Structure 1
């Protein structure tokens, strides 16, 4: 046996030991490690910056337009219409678009990995699948809540300024319902993002996820009043986005849920879909 062969054989156990230790360390990736990895992923997604900035800017623009048009028509309203006039809901009307953009961001945060097959590398590095999805949910919730808070705050200020300039009843930040709508609206958009993540996890296809989210947030609420009697009433009252959206209203329609109960209904629905996503993600092949 040559000296070179002896050195090679003597080094082989050492190398094998190092590889084994490295593999064990890789398999014991902690939850903070997963959080850091998911933060890098969502930060480097090109769509994230577009969604965040676009949602805030469009929300303020819609609030300004709606506030200005409402000011023009307020003087011609009847007494009954003035009694139900809701300056708070008017300024936050842009949430109908924001809920879709945030939900799509949540869906793409997982479907993009399935589409590029990088999900295989993710699950190889972190075999604990629940840890991976939980980290995605926490990071997404943080981004969605901060975006939602900036959206509701900017929309409220822009909308109320437009209403005030038109001589229409308006609110200030000192009004108790203002902060309920601002913070509650941010929570609503966070739930929308988590619902998007859960839907993307269950479906795995970006196109199918986008279609499903559009139907859930826009089509069903829009066509709900056209449904037969009891189904129409149920959709208006209990459909997740319709019930949760009551958190951003000032006038309380007796036929609909109150703000916090409505948001609780949406929270329960999102929790159910997210639980199904966790169970499916743990068992299904990548």
Structure 2
């Protein structure tokens, strides 16, 4: 086994994981769903924005953020891209292919690292493509309704769009960590839903000493990166997103430890 581990280099593991990921029908179904649902939500969110803007108060018009409006799709997109991240790991446990993968790549940290790198690359490309597409479609619809809209060159717009893609990629990596630790698609996705929706929903019930965590929580402080109008609650969105990425890194570190130590 030691000679096999020596022969299987990280580049080989990367290539194998890429072949496995692109060979799964679920990968392409999930990516198709990501864009279909993501773009559909953008059309729904911006399609009748003219009516809302016409009836808005002066304060609401001052806080009008067309960029955030068109990127609202992230609320659902993060769950879909989370499915993709989860399946990178849990699909092999469901089929038993993980035994073969470990036989070919005995160094477990190398195998999991290859999964993380491949999934991260796909998530970054898909997330950024979705963010740019939703922004352009959303702003086109807003412009057609004769309401204030944004251009890519406007202050804060590129930051919000690029930050949105990184946010989705971080969610995909979080899903990989959860899938590795729990080894079950349903369990990992349930935990992910709890993280991105349930915890923020019960934020008001958290003790005061835990409230600072919300600055770095998905759909809370980290989601401020989607805004171009500064939020008084989260005035440093990139710092918030960085804190979320550190949390994701901690989950991945735990996943590497668990994956290394258990039988499968």
TM-score by length of structure 2 reads: 0.93
CA distance in structure 2 between the partners assigned to 1:88 and 1:227 by the alignment: 31
Against the structure 1 CA distance between its residues 127 and 225, is the aligned structure 2 distance closer, same or farther, given a 3 Å change threshold?
closer
1:85 is matched with 64
1:177 is matched with 156
| Secondary structure, counterpart of 1:242 in structure 2 | coil
**Aligned residue among 9, 30, 33 for 2:9:** 30
CA deviations over 1:193-231 (Å, ceiling 9, x no partner): 00000000001112111211111122222x135525737
2:126 is matched with 147
Checking the alignment, whether the CA contact within 8 Å between 1:56 and 1:150 is kept in structure 2 is no
55-64 or 201-210, which deviates more: 55-64
Shift of 1:27: 4.8
| Secondary structure, counterpart of 1:237 in structure 2 | helix
Shift of 1:75: 1.4
In the comparison of the two structures, how many residue pairs are matched? 264
Checking the alignment, whether the CA contact within 8 Å between 1:27 and 1:125 is kept in structure 2 is no
CA distance in structure 2 between the partners assigned to 1:138 and 1:274 by the alignment: 12
CA distance in structure 1 between the partners assigned to 2:139 and 2:186 by the alignment: 37
Report 1:49-68 matches (<5 A): 49-68=28-47
Q: 1:70 aligned to 2:49?
A: yes
Q: 1:102 aligned to 2:81?
A: yes
Checking the alignment, whether the CA contact within 8 Å between 1:104 and 1:213 is kept in structure 2 is no
CA deviations over 1:144-166 (Å, ceiling 9, x no partner): 01100110011001111111111
Q: 1:40 aligned to 2:19?
A: yes
Q: 1:258 aligned to 2:236?
A: yes
| Secondary structure, counterpart of 1:172 in structure 2 | coil
Report 1:91-130 matches (<5 A): 91-130=70-109
* Rg (Cα) greater in structure: 1
2:227 is matched with 249
Q: Which stretches in structure 1 are left out of the alignment for 5+ residues? A: 1-19
CA deviations over 1:107-126 (Å, ceiling 9, x no partner): 11111111211111111111
CA distance in structure 2 between the partners assigned to 1:42 and 1:140 by the alignment: 8
Shift of 1:253: 1.4
2:202 is matched with 224
1:282 is matched with 260
CA distance in structure 1 between the partners assigned to 2:109 and 2:81 by the alignment: 22
TM-score by length of structure 1 reads: 0.87
CA distance in structure 1 between the partners assigned to 2:207 and 2:13 by the alignment: 48
36-45 or 240-249, which deviates more: 240-249
CA distance in structure 2 between the partners assigned to 1:82 and 1:165 by the alignment: 18
2:249 is matched with 271
